[in-house]
Structure 1
């Protein structure tokens, strides 16, 4: 329940701090006194988006705090899920800074507006005059039906299944689009892939072919240079190997004269062995090299095809061509295997559709089952509220498509008088009738939704006399199991509150400030008398006010 509300620097409120008790609380005040401002401040702390224009002093931040007693409402899982400290007396705070920045806190832990709104929806239901128009909305009507049918768990499972179904449907459509586009491009992609596969594309192949081409294309030059090299090493007169052989013989004779000469001999011998080996390798290369015009043409052809493919695909590296080849292979492969993938998705979609139909059917059955009870409760309660001949026609029929809340079309029609045709609420119900219907629905839902607090903003609008008295009785009855607030202009309703607050404006110099205070018994008598007969209090108005309180 809401135990305390503090508002600073919001609209006409400079500073306000008020505490509330359980039971039925009535709030009254003249038109324009600031009752809507009070609701606006409360809505901010429940997650509504902030507006800088609401700052009373544009240089100071606005701070709104609401304290809720939540020990009895099984909210620990919510706090655990959102990593919040659970406190029996939980404080929600909202700050709006002059810069436009808005911050929200739950027990001093910063939270997003989404988390704040989720918690707010579990703590209090604020019924505004605008909300009465939702009566004609199918979503609201289904929400009411599902609350009574206790469909929450079924709807959660259905929503998860619908997400999976929609995803599979999207995947299937994407595959069909890919197939359609791929079929158009298959021949071209296959041609490009064949071109790339005709060459052995691997890292280093280009360098290898270019090297092979240079050798084949320069056979005469290479042979001539190899011959010169071999001659320089093996000329009988001045060849390096010949001279080194002689040098080796001389050094060999010197080894007898000391270890230093032996080391010199080994170095000369090592050089001789290395050059002799080079000579042999040059001779081998010279013998093996030969002109091969056919191989030259073949290598040249491969290189040209390679260069042409690089130019065609606007790349310069073999690795890029390999990547293109793999991509094309993937596209061609997808085209070739896509029918199988489509069949798999179609089978999965059929299974998911059957499961959705099953879940939607269970939701529909429970909705239909609760309709007679809902009709009976609505008609009996509205009869007490001066609508003895009211009748509802409620039907749930299968829809052609899966919707966010099942697969149903809801017919919710209303007739206020015997013999009258049924029609949609927004077309045939008056403002006063809509107010009574909404209060009746809220009183029925209160038993199922188990909200800690319900706040009505002039739900008694458009009614008076004995009917307003009965509406007050319904709110008083609701307050036995939950905290109920009623912002009202009707003395018959205000007199039933366990506590009564008055909202009023004070003028201090050049400023106007909205205030709110709890009335004692004598003050309640005066307030009710003014609501009955105006500012000029008469004895009869005061007597009537006392009678209402008693």
Structure 2
């Protein structure tokens, strides 16, 4: 329940603070006094649209704060927790909205800054606001399905949850199937490309680091003559000289070792020196034999050089196309082969999907048919209840009908439900439209075509009165519910609002004295000038002020004594419960 609201610097409002009560609260005032501003402020506080133009001239920002009592709304604890808000122990909830002249806004719940999405999610569980926009939208069939479903209770909600799960699976499979069917030609082209790439890379029989090894071999082959000359000269100098007058290092060391060995047999102290020289001689021999082996291994084959260069060129071409390194080229070939396998198996997947889509369609059709049957039963009850409500709202001959038909597309048959081709959506296969006739003998027709403003107001009130029996919305707000009505109809509307106010909080803006007199708490909105500026103010009326206000609504700004007496009588009848 809405306990109080504080507003600063909003449009004509400099500052107001209002304490609401349970039951039926009413706001009255002259045309243009700012009654609807109060409703706008409440809408802003619970996540409605914000406009920088609503900031009062001369102020930097407008601030609206609303306090609610959640002590009898256990379900709100879960809603708050979903938004990361801890419920207050005393059951109060404070929501606020600040709008700056630059267009920015800030939302708070219990003092904590939250997103507008979070504020709206909480706000839509606290207040239902019905203004001119809602009355106009009631004529649109697009809203009728949701209104019907809101009367369906847990059974319909569970059936819809089951249906939506099946529908989601079916739609996902249909999308995948459509994509496969649409890309058949593209898959064929892709298969050709992948097959070529995989074959080109695999036929090359690449080995990791092969290019580095071949590059080194090419350097050797290209410089074979220089290598042979250099190694041969070193071999002669170290091991086997071809010139008798220039012995090799090995020959010199061997001759020196023979002399030193003879000396060591005479003086044993020369043995370490002889051993070192023997080691040097052995090393020279080993080096010589290694150089001889390398010299003999040098290949002068131009054919091998050409083969190496051809292989390196082929590797370079593959690297230009598929990767900077051989590892990347090899990986590209592996990936192409895997992708090709997937494309090849797409036809198998296509056949599998076609079968699954058909099976899922049967599941969805069955669930949709169950929902349609539930809606038909619910519609019968709702038609009866709303027609009874309209009779109590001074429309005894009114007839309210709910037309349910299967949705049809532009020749596209997605499902067959109960033998009828239809188009499925997330809410089923039904299209719902409310039909209305105000007078006996008239054929019920769509609301948009026949309902006057006064009739539309009462139809809206009848619908909300019936739906209020099945929802737990704590506060209902009606802005100009009295549009286009008067006389007996106004008394009937007043009585209905008062009855709704016995089970929940009702806040209404009205121009009619009959509705104002039916309220349990009465607020007046006035415009006045202060310091050359127009301001809107609001206050709760005491019993005498209330007589004067109802008298004004009955007879103008200067009501006669008779008018005031009539106003007092209306209020006394209310107090005695004889409306």
Task: Say whether the fold is shared (TM-score over 0.5).
Answer: yes
Residue by residue over 1:206-256, the C-alpha shift from the partner in whole angstroms, topping out at 9 and shown as x without a partner, is 112222333344444433433233222213544233344456667776796
The change in CA–CA distance for 1:446 and 1:297 in structure 2 (over 3 A counts) is same
* Alpha-carbon displacement from aligned partner over 1:385-440 (angstroms, at most 9, x marks no partner): 22222223323233322223222122432222222223211001111111110000
CA pair 92-241 structure 1, distance change in 2 beyond 3 A: farther
* TM-score (norm: length of structure 2): 0.88
Is 1:370 the counterpart of 2:370? The answer is no
Match of 2:69 in 1: 69
1:13 corresponds to 2:13: yes
Q: 1:242 to 1:173 in 2, by over 3 A?
A: farther
Tell me if structure 2 keeps the 8 A contact 1:129–1:458.
yes
How far, CA to CA, are the matches of 2:252 and 2:454 in structure 1?
127
List aligned pairs for 1:156-167, cutoff 5 A. Answer: 156-167=161-172
Question: Contact between 1:179 and 1:335, CA under 8 Å: does it hold in 2?
Answer: no
Of the candidates 349, 370, 387, which is equivalent to residue 357 of structure 2?
A: 349
Give 2:523's match in structure 1, choosing from 493, 497, 501. Answer: 501
Q: Is the 8 A contact 2:191 2:344 kept in 1?
A: no
CA distance in 2 between counterparts of 1:418 and 1:37 reads 40
Matched-pair contact (CA < 8 Å) for 1:203–1:319: yes
Q: 1:191 aligns with which of 190, 196, 203?
A: 196
Which of these residues, 515, 523, 528, is aligned with residue 545 of structure 2? 523
Partner residue in 2 for 1:116? 119
1:15-42: per-residue Cα shift (whole Å, max 9, x none)? 1111111111011111111112112211
Which secondary structure does the structure 2 equivalent of 1:403 belong to? coil
Q: Is residue 58–residue 98 contact of structure 1 (8 Å, CA) maintained in 2? A: no
1:100 aligns to 2:122 (yes or no): no
Show the 5 A alignment for 1:233-248. 233-236=238-241, 237-246=246-255
Which moved further from structure 2: 283-292 or 448-457? Answer: 283-292
> Which range moved further: 80-89 or 497-506?
80-89
Pair 1:490–1:284, CA change in 2 (3 A): same
Please state if 1:287 is matched with 2:293.
Answer: no
Partner residue of 1:181?
186
Q: How does 1:8-407 map to 2 (within 5 A)?
A: 8-73=8-73, 74-87=75-88, 88-150=91-153, 151-236=156-241, 237-246=246-255, 262=272, 272-311=281-320, 313=321, 316-399=324-407, 400-407=422-429
| Distance in 2 (alpha carbons) for counterparts of 1:347 and 1:268 | 91
Cα deviation 1:277-321 (Å, max 9, x = unaligned): 33222222233333445544433332222233344x286533443
Q: Aligned partners of 1:72, 1:23: CA distance in 2, in Å?
A: 15
Aligned residues: 547
Q: Is the 8 A contact 2:144 2:433 kept in 1?
A: no
Deviation at 1:118, TM superposition (A): 0.9
Cα separation, partners in 2 of 1:495 and 1:267, compared to 1, 3 Å: farther
Distance, in Å, in 1 between the alignment partners of 2:276 and 2:104 is: 86
TM-score of the aligned structures, taking structure 1 as reference length: 0.92
Deviation at 1:345, TM superposition (A): 3.5
Which is further off, 440-449 or 360-369?
A: 360-369
What RMSD over aligned residues (CA atoms) do the two structures have, in Å? 2.6
Task: Name the CA distance, whole Å, in 2 between partners of 1:462 and 1:250.
Answer: 139
CA distance in 2 between counterparts of 1:50 and 1:247 reads 109
Aligned in 2, Cα 1:529/1:211: closer, same or farther, shift over 3 Å? Answer: same
Once the two structures are overlaid, the 10-residue window that deviates more, 442-451 or 60-69, is 60-69
Displacement after TM superposition at 1:524 (Å): 0.6
Instruction: Name the CA distance, whole Å, in 1 between partners of 2:253 and 2:61.
Output: 99
For residues 314 and 193 of structure 1, the distance between their equivalents in structure 2, rounded to whole angstroms, comes to: 11
Change (3 A) 1:274 1:174: farther
536-545 or 518-527, which moves further after superposition?
Answer: 536-545
Uncovered stretches (5+) of structure 2, i.e. residues with no partner: 408-421, 573-579
Tell me what 1:435 maps to: 457
Distance 1:340 1:2, change over 3 A: same
In structure 2, distance between residues paired with 1:49 and 1:274? 96
8 Å CA contact retained: 1:182, 1:331: no
Q: Which residue of 1 aligns with 2:415?
A: none
Aligned CA distance change for structure 1 residues 258 and 461 (closer, same or farther; 3 Å): farther
Deviation at 1:176, TM superposition (A): 3.3
Cα 1:485–1:272, aligned 2, differ >3 Å: closer, same or farther?
farther
Aligned partners of 1:25 and 1:486 also within 8 Å = yes
Cα distance change, pair 218–428 in 1 and its aligned pair in 2 (3 A): same
Contact 1:368 / 1:395 at 8 angstroms: preserved in 2? Answer: no
Cα shift at 1:112: 0.9
Q: Which range is displaced more, 146-155 or 63-72?
A: 146-155
What per-residue deviation string (whole Å, max 9, x for no partner) do you get for residues 425-477 of structure 1?
10011111111100000000111111010000011211101111111111111
- Cα distance in 2 for partners of 1:258, 1:355 equals 107
Instruction: Find the aligned partners of 2:367 and 2:95 in 1 and give their Cα distance.
Output: 38
Deviation (angstroms), 1:514: 0.9
Tell which deviates more after alignment, 42-51 or 190-199.
190-199
Rounded Cα–Cα distance in structure 1 between residues aligned with 2:39 and 2:343:
61
Indicate if the aligned counterparts of 2:454 and 2:483 stay in contact, CA closer than 8 A. yes
Q: Distance in 1 between matches of 2:259 and 2:111?
A: 100
- What secondary structure, in the 3-state scheme, does the structure 2 residue paired with 1:5 have? strand
Q: Distance in 2 between the 1:119 and 1:532 partners?
A: 40
